Chains A and B, each alone.
Chain A
């Protein structure tokens, strides 16, 4: 079956430092990878959508300068939170799919900023 693994599961970083998180698709080709953030008391906000052979599309309020994403092949993607501050804390979720299929999500990376 289709599985998505995310790591680390949980991480703590000091304010102003950066944190890289990874997403691995197993059992299918991840032609699209979406990165979401769930901040405390909020729903899942889309950060950016990466489609192989297309430019990564960032949503309003999220930028490549702050959340650079790499999607080098059909099984892997990574995202870095640069200069993390308190407002960046939350659960970062990676979802992957092939065209015409539903999304499969990982368990998320929970980021705490101190």
Chain B
């Protein structure tokens, strides 16, 4: 079945630094979403991409369907960015399309 390989599984950053998370797909995906799971367990929708890149504040995401990957870049990391980040992708846009999640990246931002 479809697989989404997310890396790294854990990441530690000092405040003010940055890094990138990556998801590789075993098949061609039509769209990707990035989420952050907050301390209350809610999945916060960060980005939805069908192609190209999107930027929101200190976060930037890219999706290349042909090359089968998506990235999430975090710059100037803040303490409140800590949490677990998930990518999720789907192959189709029809009503029956399912979303397959990556394994998650646990981000810890330290002072």
Name A's B-contacting residues (CB within 8 A). 31-32, 34, 36, 43-44, 46, 49, 51-52, 54, 57, 91, 93, 95, 99-100, 102-105, 107-108, 110
Contacts and interface: CB of A to CB of B under 8 A. Distances in A.
B59 interface: no
8 contacts: A32-B97, A43-B86, A43-B103, A46-B98, A51-B95, A100-B93, A103-B33, A103-B88
Residue with the highest number of chain B CB atoms closer than 10 Å, among A44, A95, A108 = A44
B99 interface: yes
Given A43-B104, A44-B86, A102-B45, A95 B40 contact: no
B96 A32 contact: yes
Nearest to A10: B41
A107 B42 contact: yes
Contacts of A95: 99
Contacts of A52: 95
B35 to A, nearest CB: 7
Contact of B33 (A54, A99, A102, A108): A102
Interface residues of B, number: 23
Nearest to A44: B101
Contacts of B86: 43-44
Nearest to A49: B98
A57 B92 CA distance: 16
A32 B93 CA distance: 11
Contact of A49 (B40, B93, B96, B103): B96
Residue with the highest number of chain A CB atoms closer than 10 Å, among B45, B98, B102, B104 = B98
Interface in B11-41: 31, 33, 35, 40-41
A36 B101 contact: yes
Interface string B64-98: 00000000000000000000001010000111111
